[in-house]
Amino acid sequence: MITILILLVALGILGWGFVRARPFGQVGLLAWLQSVVLMAPWLVFFGLFAAGLYLNLAAVLLMIVLSTVLYVVLGKRLRSLGRDPAMQQRLSPQASAQDAANMAEGSTDGSLDGSGERVADGTASKDENASKSTPEKAEFEALPPEDLKAIQGLFGIDTFFATETVPYLDGAIFKGNLRGEPDATHARLSNGLQERLGDRYRLFLISGPDQRPTVVVLPSSSDPPKTTTTQWSLAIALGAATILTCFEAAGLLLGFDLFSDFGRVGEALPIASGILFILIAHEVGHRWMARRYQIRLSPPFFLPTWQLGSLGSLMRFESLLPNRNVLFDISLAGPLASGIVSLLMLMLGLVLSLNGSDFTVPPSIFKGSILVGTLASAVLGSALQEPVVAVHPLVAVGWIGLVVTALNTMPAGQLDGGRIMQAIYGRTVAGRATFATVIVLGIASLVNPLALYWAIVILFVQRNAERPALNELSEPDDTRAALGLLILFLMVATLLPLTPSLAGRLGIGG
């Protein structure tokens, strides 16, 4: 029943996407086809499962590779169409007309210097339209008039044509029309701002509430704050607590309470070390990628728990991110590192289990995850029909690592998954995904209290999306988008349990 429901929801999403894409012609259909090819492997896998047919791991991997290749090919075709001026005019005739009108107004209301940039004279415009877009001096008390004049002088007909200036916090918002590629335009405007005003201001190129390109200039004092001494103390305390809970979780897996019998700490050491190694791999992944981009990160704030040792960690960016590619790469690096380590531990543990082990578990626990249950069935086979299954402890360590990684890749707030979602689809979609994730966790908490705990963490700590990058308009390439969606699918496959019928087809008893 759950499998059929998943298929119906997926088909409903594709149908809704097709209806939304049709008005945009070839571009819309290509974008829709990208969604189809990404969802196709999973639709085929679950569809055949529901029909009683089981695909082996090699077939699933082949379908994923083929869908990724098709996704990239379609993306290249889509971007080539998007750069076609005729296609841009067809997609947004009203915006093109507005651009022409603004160009006409700009040619009469202001003068141009030799480089084609509009020069602000610091006085009120003589026509009524310009008077609406030029703020009164009193509205910019936090922004010195000479700085405002220098910033307005950055814009021109070949970069960003500003049509309205609005005070915002200690800076200003400039509404208008983007004239070039986002990357080149942002680089040119930022370099110009640096030359004129040094390091005193930051220039953001974002999508405004009306989904039009918007420039926001804020003072450098609004940069992300560094970690305080109190926050460092909290991070250290949570790290120490996590070490203790990892040992306690290891003891519980082995059948004893470590705090009641601390003399058995040596027995818990191998499993606890494995869990801690996965947590460290996750943090190393984040920080290695952040160092490549020269981005400062806060210390990790671990979330200790008795059941798993830790639910992962939270961290903040202490530097402004240049673009969404950097947000994606740093966010993905952590779960990618811990996910690979966890999966290798799980597979190695399953292989070592073929030689027998003193560590036994009931076969029913393999029903708790589609991914783990499928892998266990492929390696252990008929052993899953026994009353108890002898497995190597690495199986438990790898499984815990996959669950912790999956929890952190949920598409919500400033979790890794939420940041990945924001990098691929933007802030609006990421906000909706956060809301949907909290709802799903609330429903799941009826059968699993751990889901309620994670929903509370998201609701009160991680509910907001990450702050915008300096260049928020440039989207990640198709390879990054495919990787992001792949890790989100693996998150679902890790956390979603097997139905009784699917478990029976996989030969999992208990």
What are all long-range contacts of 325-328, with beta carbons under 8 Å and residues at least 24 apart? 325/423, 325/474, 325/476, 325/477, 325/480, 326/293, 326/295, 326/469, 327/419, 327/422, 327/423, 327/466, 327/469, 328/419, 328/420, 328/423, 328/424, 328/476, 328/480, 328/484
| Cα atoms in the Cβ-side hemisphere of radius 13 Å centred on 357 | 21
Contact 201, 218 (CB under 8 A): yes
Task: Give the separation between CA 249 and CA 247, rounded to whole angstroms.
Answer: 5
Q: Please state whether 133 falls in left (phi above 0), alpha (psi between -120 and 50) or beta.
A: alpha
- Tell me the helices (H) and strands (E) count for the chain, helix number first: 18, 10
Q: Tell me how crowded residue 113 is: count the other CB atoms within 10 A of its CB.
A: 10
Judge if pTM exceeds 0.75: no
Residue type at position 388 = V
Contact 41, 489 (CB under 8 A): no
| Cα atoms in the Cβ-side hemisphere of radius 13 Å centred on 366 | 34
Contacts of 443 (CB under 8 A, 6+ apart): none
pLDDT 10s per residue in the chain (510 long)? Answer: 555 665 666 677 667 667 766 776 776 777 777 777 766 776 777 677 666 666 665 666 677 667 767 777 777 776 666 555 555 445 444 443 344 334 334 333 333 333 333 333 333 333 334 334 444 444 556 678 888 888 888 888 888 888 888 888 788 889 888 887 888 889 999 999 999 988 899 999 988 777 788 889 999 888 888 889 999 999 999 999 999 999 999 988 888 888 888 888 888 899 999 999 999 999 999 999 999 999 999 999 998 888 888 988 889 999 999 999 999 999 999 999 999 999 999 999 999 988 877 788 888 888 888 888 888 888 888 888 888 888 899 999 999 999 999 989 988 888 899 899 889 888 888 888 888 887 887 777 777 767 777 777 777 666 666 778 899 888 888 888 888 888 888 888 888 888 777 777 777 776
Burial per residue of 146-167, b for 16 or more beta-carbon CB atoms within 10 angstroms, e otherwise: ebbebbbbbbbbebbbbbbbeb
Residue 500 main-chain phi, psi, to 5 deg: -55, -40
What is the 8-class DSSP label of residue 250?
Answer: H
Going from N- to C-terminal start, the domains of the chain cover: 2-90, 107-222, 229-505
Contact 87, 27 (CB under 8 A): yes
Rounded to 5°, the CA angle 498-32-413 comes to: 60
Burial per residue of 341-379, b for 16 or more beta-carbon CB atoms within 10 angstroms, e otherwise: bbbebbbebbeebeeebebebebebbbbbbbbbbbbbeb
